[in-house]
């Protein structure tokens, strides 16, 4: 007789470890899955160690069939999001499940009931506040994900669609591989020279590691002004800024982070970083006994990068600053034969998509975010 699926909220340290390490069993044998840094993962599902969860009501749900864990989900109410959008939307993230419609149905039903009890009228996801990844991978299963990007089995789309979830937004990833001969078209380099000649007050420079806090403040301020109309964006709290600095500082490459100035005023940035997943896969997410040595030794040898963000203040948009920033990034990294993935690009953000496509970047991945009304 097949045992019933039971759902239980994580309460003990043992259950937390089962929740955290379930993907390791689920993806066993999948060469494209990359483990997280397990030591960080074990801490980050506690509110005090995660700036988004610290401002949210949340629960961690484990699905079991007998003694066997068969699924998990993180369900949460982001108070900052709902206050900003004047909404009653709940979220899920960290969803992992066997290819079993019964398990996913019971797990999602329990998640939805938890949100209804807290007054939510819709659920959206996956938006994972620990991995800081959005969406289920829909297209692009032929290569591993970059750091802080999702990976999942293709069957997840069928599991959630069968429970009434529908697409709310797609996110895109573009790639430029200098090791395979990618070069930015000459006309963009000529455009940047003309732009600089006509606007001598406009300058760009690398981030300064000696003044990381100051330059990070520039990025934080520009983001909260220029991205506030982007779908799903919530102004970044300073705690989120500090958490981001802590995550990126160990892999900071000044060649990959550029700031634009008009005189002394910071007006734009592009933020890239080495793809730490290339090392995490090798050490299987474990720093001990020798993983940390591979991490320290390997960071400077990474040839795969992620372009995480590019933003320009509204009054400076449509003036070519985004191109100037991207060309600066390209020129700094191309001698090292870097493979760069620009990720996530909103499907309807043609202010970003059009320049990337004109610069011959190749669309390689699509991620899908779902939503469901809670009646």
Q: pLDDT (tens digit, 9 = 90+) per residue, 12-50?
A: 999 999 999 999 999 999 999 999 989 888 998 988 888
pLDDT reported for residue 3: 84
pLDDT reported for residue 2: 72
Per-residue pLDDT tens digits for 113-165: 999 999 999 999 999 998 889 999 999 999 999 999 999 999 999 999 999 99
pLDDT reported for residue 125: 96
35: three-class secondary structure by DSSP: coil
81-95 residues labelled b (16+ CB within 10 A) or e (exposed): bbeeeeeebbbbbbb
Structure token digits, residue 168: 């709310």
pLDDT reported for residue 290: 55
Beta-bridge partners for 137: 367
- The residue count of the chain comes to 375
The CA–CA distances, whole Å, from 101 to 5, 91, 114, 191 equal: 11, 20, 20, 54
H-helix segments, 162-304:
186-198, 212-226, 238-248, 277-283, 291-298
Rounded to an integer, what distance in angstroms lies between the CA atom of residue 223 and that of residue 218? Answer: 8
DSSP summary character for residue 131: T
Mean pLDDT rounded to a whole number for the chain: 92
**pLDDT above 90 coverage of the chain, percent:** 75
| Ordered DSSP codes for 62-121 | EEEETTEEEEEEEEEEEHHHHHHHT--EEEEEEEEE-S-HHHHHHHHHHHHHHHHTTT-S
pLDDT reported for residue 121: 98
Per-residue pLDDT tens digits for 73-82: 999 999 999 9
> Which of the two residues, 235 and 146, has the higher pLDDT score?
146
Which residues neighbour 329 within 8 Å (Cβ) at sequence distance 6 or greater?
Answer: 255, 256, 258, 270, 272, 307, 340
Q: Are 125 and 91 in contact (CB under 8 A)?
A: yes
- All structural domains of the chain, each given as residue ranges with its CATH number in brackets, are 9-169 (3.40.630), 176-367 (3.40.630.30)
Confidence class of residue 251 from pLDDT cuts 50, 70 and 90? confident
Residue 372 has pLDDT above 90, yes or no: yes
- Report which of 272, 276, 280, 278 is spatially closest to residue 343, judged by C-alpha positions: 272
Residue 99 has pLDDT above 70, yes or no: yes
Sign of the Cα torsion 188, 193, 194, 196 reads: positive
Confidence class of residue 246 from pLDDT cuts 50, 70 and 90? confident
pLDDT reported for residue 91: 98
pLDDT reported for residue 145: 95
């Amino acid at each position: 007789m097949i045992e019933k699926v039971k759902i239980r909220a994580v309460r003990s340290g043992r259950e937390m470890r089962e929740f955290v390490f379930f993907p390791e069993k689920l993806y066993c044998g999948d060469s494209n899955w990359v483990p997280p840094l397990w030591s960080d993962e074990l801490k980050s599902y506690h509110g005090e160690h995660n700036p988004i969860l610290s401002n949210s009501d949340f629960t961690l749900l484990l699905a079991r069939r007998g003694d066997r864990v068969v699924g998990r989900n993180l369900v949460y109410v982001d108070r900052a999001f709902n206050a900003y959008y004047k909404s009653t939307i709940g979220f899920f993230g960290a969803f992992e499940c066997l290819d079993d419609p019964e398990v996913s149905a019971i797990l999602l039903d329990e998640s939805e009931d938890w949100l209804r009890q807290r007054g939510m009228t819709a659920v959206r996801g996956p938006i994972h506040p620990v991995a800081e990844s959005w969406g289920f991978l829909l297209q692009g299963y032929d290569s591993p994900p970059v750091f802080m990007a999702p990976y999942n089995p293709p069957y997840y789309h069928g599991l959630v669609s069968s429970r009434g979830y529908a697409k709310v937004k797609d996110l895109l990833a573009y790639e430029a591989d200098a090791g395979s001969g990618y070069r930015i078209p000459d006309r963009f380099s000529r455009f940047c020279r003309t732009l600089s000649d006509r606007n001598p007050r406009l300058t760009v420079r690398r981030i300064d590691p000696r003044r990381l806090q100051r330059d990070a403040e520039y990025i934080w301020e520009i983001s909260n002004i220029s991205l506030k109309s982007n779908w799903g964006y919530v102004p970044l709290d300073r705690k989120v800024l500090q958490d981001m600095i802590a995550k990126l500082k160990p892999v900071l490459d000044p060649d990959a982070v550029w700031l634009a100035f008009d005189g002394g005023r910071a007006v734009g940035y592009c933020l890239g970083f080495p793809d730490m997943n290339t090392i995490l896969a090798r050490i299987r997410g474990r720093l001990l006994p020798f993983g940390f040595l591979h991490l320290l030794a390997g960071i400077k040898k990474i040839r795969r990068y992620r372009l995480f963000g590019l933003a320009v203040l509204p009054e400076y948009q449509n003036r070519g600053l985004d191109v100037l920033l991207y060309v600066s990034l390209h020129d700094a990294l191309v001698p090292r034969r870097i493979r760069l993935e620009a990720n996530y690009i909103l499907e309807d953000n043609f202010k970003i998509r059009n320049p990337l496509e004109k610069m011959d970047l190749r669309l390689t991945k699509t991620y899908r975010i779902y939503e469901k009304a809670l009646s």
